[in-house]
Amino acid sequence: MEWKVTKEALATLVTDCLLVVHTEGEDSLQGCTQEVDAALDHRISGLVTEGEISGKYGEVTLVHNWGKIPAKRLLVLGLGKCSKLDLDKMRNGMAIASRKARAAGVKQLTVACSPTLNNRWNPADLVQAVVEGFELGVYRYQGYKQKQEQERALETVWLVMPGVTDSAFEAGIERGRVFAAATNTARDLTYEPANKLTPSILAERALEIANRHGIEAEVLDEQKLNELGMDALLSVSKASAEVPRMIVLHYRGAPESKEILGWVGKGVTFDSGGIQVKPGRGMGDMKGDMAGAAAVLGAMEAIGALKPHCNVTAVIPTCENMINGNGYRPGDVISSFSGKTIEIQHTDAEGRLILADGLAYARRLGATSLVNVATLTGAVVTALGYITTGLMTNDEKWAEEVKAAARVAGEKMWELPLFEEYEEYLKSEVADLKNEGGGPAGSIQGGMFLKHFAEKTPWVHLDIAGTAESNQEKGIHPKGSTGVAVRTLAQLAMQFDRQMK
Ligand code: BES
Ligand code: MN
Ligand code: ZN
- Tell the residue nearest (CA) to atom 3 of ligand 1: 377
Q: Give the ligand whose atoms come closest to the C-alpha of residue 272.
A: 2
Residue 380 has a pLDDT of 98
Q: Which of 248, 247, 223, 226 is nearest to 235 (CA)?
A: 226
- Cα(72) to ligand 3 centroid in Å equals 50
Q: Give the ligand whose atoms come closest to the C-alpha of residue 319.
A: 3
- Tell the residue nearest (CA) to atom 16 of ligand 1: 349
- Cα(349) to ligand 3 centroid in Å equals 7
Mutate to test the pocket of ligand 1, among 348, 448, 449 (most ligand atoms within 8 A of CB): 348
Residue 333 has a pLDDT of 99
For CA atoms 81, 175, 190, 330, give the dihedral sign: negative
Closest atom, ligand 1, to C-alpha of 278: 13
Task: Specify the DSSP class assigned to residue 478.
Answer: -
Beta bridge partners of 501: none
Q: Which of 474, 494, 499, 498 is nearest to 484 (CA)?
A: 474
Residues counted in the chain? 501
Q: How many CB atoms lie within 10 A of CB 68?
A: 13
Q: Which of 197, 209, 213 is nearest to 253 (CA)?
A: 213
Residue 112 and residue 154 in contact, taking contact as beta carbons nearer than 8 Å: no
What string of H, E and C letters represents the secondary structure of 274-318?
CCCCCCCCCHHHHHHCCHHHHHHHHHHHHHHHHCCCCEEEEEEEE
Q: Give the ligand whose atoms come closest to the C-alpha of residue 445.
A: 1
Closest atom, ligand 1, to C-alpha of 289: 1
- Cα(224) to ligand 2 centroid in Å equals 25
Residue 95 has a pLDDT of 98
- Tell the residue nearest (CA) to atom 9 of ligand 1: 465
Phi-psi region of 339 (alpha: psi -120 to 50; beta: other; left: phi over 0): left
Closest atom, ligand 1, to C-alpha of 379: 21
Task: Specify the DSSP class assigned to residue 44.
Answer: H
Residue 49 and residue 19 in contact, taking contact as beta carbons nearer than 8 Å: no
Virtual torsion, Cα 1, 152, 93, 37, nearest 10 deg: 90
Closest atom, ligand 1, to C-alpha of 351: 11
Q: Exposed, middle or buried, 243 (CB in 10 Å: 0-12/13-18/19+)?
A: middle
List the catalytic residues: 278, 352
Rounded to whole angstroms, how far apart are CA atoms 175 and 483? 16
In this structure, the residues whose C-beta lies within 6 A of any atom of ligand 1 are 271, 289, 346, 348-351, 375-379, 436, 442, 465
Rounded to whole angstroms, how far apart are CA atoms 18 and 471? 31
pTM across the whole model? 0.98
Rounded to whole angstroms, how far apart are CA atoms 380 and 491? 24
Residue 443 has a pLDDT of 98
Rounded to whole angstroms, how far apart are CA atoms 245 and 191? 20
Residue 381 and residue 470 in contact, taking contact as beta carbons nearer than 8 Å: no
Question: Which residues of the chain fall below pLDDT 50?
Answer: 501
Longest dimension (CA), the chain: 81
Give the tens place of pLDDT for each residue, 372-418: 999 999 999 999 999 999 999 999 999 999 999 999 999 999 999 99
- Cα(373) to ligand 2 centroid in Å equals 15
Residue 371 and residue 492 in contact, taking contact as beta carbons nearer than 8 Å: yes
Phi-psi region of 375 (alpha: psi -120 to 50; beta: other; left: phi over 0): beta
Please, what is the end-to-end C-alpha distance for the chain in angstroms?
Answer: 33
Residue 356 and residue 450 in contact, taking contact as beta carbons nearer than 8 Å: yes
- Cα(136) to ligand 3 centroid in Å equals 26
Beta bridge partners of 252: 311
